[in-house]
């Protein structure tokens, strides 16, 4: 018969707590040390934390713990420690606790609501773990909570996303619940109750319904993301009135309609609406967004010509307009006014004419994809100016003179990916010595 050499876990927990309570009084109060020990014994893998969290020592000296001058625990910082196990609700007994960071571990089980509704916490970050279950709704009668930052992204949370909870969090600034499985709709309660609310990320969930009118009440909002959900309808007009907005991101939903008047988004840095059903054209007013760095409108149903005003967005690093119905001659856009451009993706449209020479003035260009359009002509030797170009896709654009093209492309020393099929029809492949070094 085999005998286990492991004590039952309940016996071990009781033994540890008894030993701790029997220890001499340290600078840390008994309640503070006791609460931290409850957290420790709830871990199945502490990655050597017990070597620091020693019985009889001041818990303010323990690894990952910071205290105030009054010897009250204010911070529990144990990110990226390979911790496994559950999060003890006893941490809420640390009455002076301001910040908890348990991100990038392997913690599982539920997130104790005692922490979310703490009367002292201002930052709670448990992102990148394996926590599950729902996020319990706090009734609107709950006393106001001081929480400013809540990050529960990249876990296994599910169920209805709370709405009334945010009514009691008037100090909330950042809420990140991305990469979970929440259902329900986008609430607007934090826009009314939290005057400093600035960041909302609902990406990679199962949020449905429309983008609610009323988000403009979040006048301090700088970042709004709800990509990879099941949202439908159009962009509400008042959303485009949030003057401080820097990042607007709703990719891969079921949104439709036109972009509308985006001229008021003067601080916009990132616009990402790819993978929806937007139609219409890019308005000329986009040229008023002088801080714009990235525009992602690929995989929609947009049409028209590219506005020449796009060149006023001189900070652009990424233009992604692939798989739409844009048309016209690109030569109407002077790309030489976009010196910071690194990625230009216009694949799968109806652009015609020749490839504009001004593209070859974008000296920082790394990736260029013009495939599946209606261009024609020969490849320009000026492409050699793109010293950092590593990805080039020119499939099926009726290029001619294969010998010249290969000789020209020899000068692109950093080129690692070249897609150039369905061109040079009825031409003969050049001899090896003619394109030697390609």
pLDDT tens digits for range 166-200: 989 999 999 999 999 999 999 988 888 888 999 99
8 Å CB contact between 38 and 24: no
- Which tokens belong to 246? 């820097």
3-state secondary structure at position 207: coil
In this prediction, residue 76 carries a pLDDT of 98
CATH topology for 9-126 is: 3.80.10
Angle, helices 30-41 vs 9-21, to 10°: value is 160
Cα separation, 237 vs 249, in Å, equals 16
- Burial (CB count <10 Å: 0-12, 13-18, 19+), residue 263: middle
Name the DSSP letter for residue 130: E
Gap between the Cα atoms of 262 and 276, Å rounded: 18
pTM, full prediction: 0.90
15 phi and psi angles, rounded to 5 deg: -65, -45
b/e 211-236 (16+ beta carbons within 10 angstroms → b) = beebbbbbebbbbbbbbbbebeebbb
Q: Give how far Cα 248 sits from Cα of 240, 263, 287, Å.
A: 10, 14, 17
CA distance 194 to 145: 11
H/E stretch holding 20 reads: helix 9-21
336 vs 241: CA distance, rounded Å: 31
Q: What's the whole-number mean pLDDT along residues 85-96? A: 96
Residue 247: what pLDDT? 98
Contacts of 4 (CB under 8 A, 6+ apart): none
> Token pair of 71, please?
């010897």
- Judge contact between 338 and 313, C-beta under 8 A: yes
Q: What are phi and psi of 368, to 5 degrees?
A: -135, 120
Q: Please check the confidence at residue 248 and state whether its pLDDT lies above 80.
A: yes
Tens of pLDDT, residues 345-396? 999 999 999 999 999 999 999 999 999 999 999 999 999 999 999 999 999 9
The domain limits of the chain are 9-126
Quick check: 243 pLDDT over 50? yes
Which tokens is 172 given?
């909330």
Q: Could you read off the pLDDT of 8-63 as tens digits, one per residue?
A: 444 444 444 444 333 344 478 989 999 999 999 999 999 999 999 998 899 999 99
- The pLDDT of residue 9 is 42
Token pair belonging to 119: 């009367």
Predicted pLDDT at 18? 43
**What is the Cβ-side half-sphere exposure of residue 300, based on CA atoms within 13 angstroms?**
30
3-state helix, strand, coil in the chain (%, to 5): 20, 25, 55
Location of structure tokens 């600035």: 198
Separate counts of helices (H) and strands (E) for the chain: 5, 32
Which bin fits 240, alpha (ψ -120 to 50), beta or left (φ > 0)?
alpha
pLDDT at 193: 80
In the chain, % of residues over pLDDT 70: 94
User: What integer is the mean pLDDT of 77-83?
Assistant: 98
Q: How large is the C-alpha radius of gyration of the chain?
A: 29
Identify the pLDDT of residue 11.
Answer: 42
For residue 55, give the nearest of 25, 91, 90 by alpha carbon: 25
């Amino acid at each position: 018969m085999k005998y286990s050499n492991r004590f039952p876990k309940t016996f071990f927990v009781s033994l540890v707590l008894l030993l701790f309570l029997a220890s001499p009084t340290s600078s840390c109060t008994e309640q503070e040390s006791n609460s931290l020990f409850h957290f420790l014994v709830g871990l199945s893998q502490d990655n050597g934390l017990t070597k620091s969290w020693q019985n009889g020592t001041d818990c303010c000296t323990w690894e990952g713990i910071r205290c105030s001058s009054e010897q009250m625990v204010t911070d529990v910082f144990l990110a990226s420690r390979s911790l496994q196990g559950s999060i003890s609700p006893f941490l809420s007994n640390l009455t002076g606790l301001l910040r908890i960071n348990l991100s990038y571990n392997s913690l599982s089980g539920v997130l104790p609501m005692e922490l979310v509704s703490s009367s002292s916490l201002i930052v709670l970050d448990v992102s990148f773990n394996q926590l599950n279950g729902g996020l319990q709704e706090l009734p609107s009668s709950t006393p106001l909570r001081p929480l400013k930052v809540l990050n529960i992204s990249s876990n296994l949370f599910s169920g209805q996303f709370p709405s009334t909870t945010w009514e009691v969090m008037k100090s909330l600034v950042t809420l990140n619940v991305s990469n979970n499985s929440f259902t329900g709709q986008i609430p607007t309660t934090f826009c009314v109750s939290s005057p400093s609310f600035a960041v909302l990320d609902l990406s990679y969930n199962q949020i449905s319904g429309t983008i609610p009118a009323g988000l403009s009440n979040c006048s301090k909002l700088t970042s709004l993301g709800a990509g990879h959900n099941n949202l439908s309808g159009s962009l509400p007009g008042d959303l485009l009135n949030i003057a401080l907005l820097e990042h607007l991101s709703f990719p891969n939903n079921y949104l439709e309609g036109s972009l509308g008047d985006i001229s008021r988004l003067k601080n916009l840095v990132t616009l990402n609406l790819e993978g929806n059903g937007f139609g219409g054209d890019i308005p000329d007013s986009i040229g008023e967004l002088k801080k714009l760095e990235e525009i992602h409108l690929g995989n929609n149903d947009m049409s028209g010509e590219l506005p020449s005003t796009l060149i006023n967005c001189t900070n652009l690093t990424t233009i992604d307009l692939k798989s739409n119905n844009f048309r016209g001659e690109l030569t109407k856009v002077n790309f030489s006014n976009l010196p910071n451009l690194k990625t230009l993706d216009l694949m799968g449209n109806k652009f015609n004419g020749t490839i504009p020479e001004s593209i070859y003035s974008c000296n920082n260009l790394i990736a260029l994809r013009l495939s599946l359009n209606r261009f024609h002509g020969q490849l320009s030797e000026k492409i050699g100016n793109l010293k950092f170009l590593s990805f080039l896709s020119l499939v099926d654009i009726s290029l001619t003179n294969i010998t010249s093209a290969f000789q020209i492309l020899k000068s692109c020393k950093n080129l690692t990916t070249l897609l150039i099929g369905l061109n040079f029809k009825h031409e003969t492949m050049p001899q090896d010595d003619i394109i030697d070094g390609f």
